[in-house]
Structure 1
Amino acid sequence: MSQAIIQLGPVTCPSCIKKIESAVSKIDGVETVKVLFNSSKVKAEFDGNKTSGNDISETIQKLGYEVQSVKES
């Protein structure tokens, strides 16, 4: 199981959190996703054979949110 921590630009509303979590959870291979509102970070656990931190960040960017960095482990 791989993990990614994605730093976003400011997340300004609770509905943004639900929108991001919903979209990321639909990616094949994503096991868990949590948006941390106060720090504007997304933590995701996923199967590295099916997806990657970059795939997750691209999905978030397509929703219109700024991705500042991606750390994958």
Structure 2
Amino acid sequence: MAHETLNVDGMTCGHCVETVSKAVSSIPGVSKVDVDLEKKRVTVDFDENQTALADIKSKITDVGYEVVGA
């Protein structure tokens, strides 16, 4: 099980938190998602045998936000 924290730009409200959380949670292998609006961070626990960090970043980008610093 992997544990990663991503910095995400573009999140400004509760709807953003819900959008990112639902999108990342829908990825097979993701077991936990925590979106911190104030710090603009997304923490994810996932099974590396089922998904890759690149897939998680791509999903966040697909729903309209930018993963920065990684």
How far apart, CA to CA, are the structure 1 residues paired with 2:13 and 2:43? Answer: 18
- 1:45 equivalent in structure 2: 45
How far off its partner does 1:21 sit?
Answer: 0.4
How far apart, CA to CA, are the structure 1 residues paired with 2:16 and 2:10? Answer: 10
* TM-score (norm. length: structure 1): 0.89
Q: Provide structure 2 residue ranges, at least 5 long, that are not aligned to the other structure.
A: none
Residue type of the alignment partner of 2:45? E
- Map 1:24-63; keep pairs closer than 5 Å: 24-63=24-63
Distance change (3 Å), C-alpha of 1:61 and 1:30 = same
Helix, strand or coil at the partner of 1:8: strand
Count of residue pairs the alignment pairs up: 70
Q: Provide structure 1 residue ranges, at least 5 long, that are not aligned to the other structure.
A: none
How far apart, CA to CA, are the structure 2 residues paired with 1:66 and 1:46? Answer: 20
Residue type of the alignment partner of 2:34? K
- Map 1:58-73; keep pairs closer than 5 Å: 58-70=58-70
CA RMSD of aligned residues (A): 1.0
